[in-house]
Amino acid sequence: MQNKDQIFKQLPTTQKQRTRLGKHICNIKTRVKEGSEDEYGMTFYNWDGRDLGTTAFEDLPHQASQSTPLPINQSEHCPDGWLKFFDSCYFFETEALGFAKAQKNCQDKQATLFVANSLDEWETVRAHTKKSQFSWIGLVRFSQYERYEKLPRWQTTGSINPSKINWLINPYQPLGNGWSTVANCVALFEFPSTIESSSYTFFYPCTQHFNSICERNSTILNARN
């Protein structure tokens, strides 16, 4: 429990900080009204590395005994080499990894795989993605939920409807976009072209080695314990 002095130290002291806080509160109110966040403006995990310890992903140790990811500390500035968009920072990993290892790599950076909270965010990050490459994003349709869930799950809550992003086949259908019991994970492909239809997302086997996109966000908590 924080004492009074610790709480006061965290309050905004400059006009710039107060303005940023005001904008953040307005964004929270909008998301709460839309039902994408809880009343405290917190974002929670839908899944994490503990869900990726099956043969559908890759030979990683089961992570149930490992520590739960902590809330991510977010400053006004992103680390060197990261892209900033509003209150998030993005890292474009060029080392080709399987999906589970890509998720663990992001976690080691105090981040998650990329989750789109708006179409503006999606388009901004997509525009900076390496061309002619596949990149893992934080989107999975787990085989064990296929009977109940047509849409894949973003790694965290507060995200846009996955059917709104640019799938190879529209309107979105899982099987038409590559989903199978061995192809649960979603990757983004960017052609070296400005034509909207030249870039797409698609399901691939989670053991494929692709680039990945990590995202650090200030409001993520893990409440899955």
pLDDT category at 123 given cuts 50, 70, 90 is very high
Q: Which of 38-47, 78-87, 108-117, 182-191 comes out lowest in average pLDDT?
A: 38-47
> Mean pLDDT highest for which of 59-73, 79-93, 144-158?
79-93
**Amino acid 35: pLDDT:** 41
Of 118 and 4, which is predicted with more confidence? 118
Do the Cβ atoms of 21 and 12 come closer than 8 Å? yes
Return left, alpha or beta for 23; rule: phi > 0 is left, psi -120 to 50 is alpha, else beta: alpha
Mean pLDDT of 207-221: 83
Write b or e for each residue in 170-198: b if 16 or more Cβ atoms lie within 10 A of its Cβ, otherwise e.
eebebeebbbeeebbbbbbbbeeeeeeee
Do the Cβ atoms of 213 and 135 come closer than 8 Å? yes
Do the Cβ atoms of 25 and 66 come closer than 8 Å? no
Helices (H) and strands (E) in the chain, counts: 4, 10
Domain 43-221 sits in CATH at 3.10.100.10
Residue spans of the domains in the chain: they are: 1-41, 43-221
Share of the chain above pLDDT 70, in %: 64
Q: What is the pLDDT of residues 176-211, one digit of tens each?
A: 999 998 899 999 998 876 665 578 999 999 999 999
Q: What is the pLDDT of residues 135-159, one digit of tens each?
A: 999 999 988 777 788 999 999 888 9
**Amino acid 44: pLDDT:** 80
**Computed over its alpha carbons, how large is the radius of gyration of the chain?**
18
